[in-house]
Amino acid sequence: MDRERETVWAMVCHLVSFSLYLGLPFGNFIGPLVVWLVFRDQSRFIDEHGREILNFQISTFLYTLVLSAVAMLVAIFTFGLGLIVVVPLAIVYFLFTTIPIIFAAVDAKKGRPVRYPLTLRFL
């Protein structure tokens, strides 16, 4: 596979995770998984980027579960007043999970390796 095609598919691997926001349930995981499974044997570069985005998506899913439980407890024990703090923090969390994907896609297109912050390594 030529380098240009390789970098484009690595970029797509990151950007397809936004399909969740287009209404595809688990699109943030299924999209990168499909790209990774199709191209991982053809390109080490795509394999590395695919593993990285999948690890990030699994990690953020686990963080979301924990943070949602905490937010629910805060809302219950503060009779809803805790949502004044929880809602802005949810926005920050959304940015934390979105912005690195954009930077990773740009780095992938430029042929650079990527490491997402606070990512647990599963693959």
Give percent of the chain above pLDDT 70.
Answer: 100
Domain total of the chain: 1
Q: Is residue 18 part of a domain?
A: yes
Q: Is residue 121 part of a domain?
A: no
In this structure, what DSSP letter does residue 12 have? H
Q: Is residue 24 part of a domain?
A: yes
Question: Could you tell me the pTM of the whole model?
Answer: 0.92
* Domain span including residue 34: 3-107
Q: How many CB atoms lie within 10 A of CB 87?
A: 10
pLDDT at 53: 98
Q: Is residue 54 part of a domain?
A: yes
Q: Is residue 115 part of a domain?
A: no
Q: Is residue 112 part of a domain?
A: no
Mean pLDDT (the chain) is 95
pLDDT digit string (tens) for 38-62? 999 999 999 999 999 999 999 999 9
Q: Is 11 exposed, middle or buried (0-12, 13-18, 19+ CB in 10 A)?
A: buried
Q: How many CB atoms lie within 10 A of CB 5?
A: 13
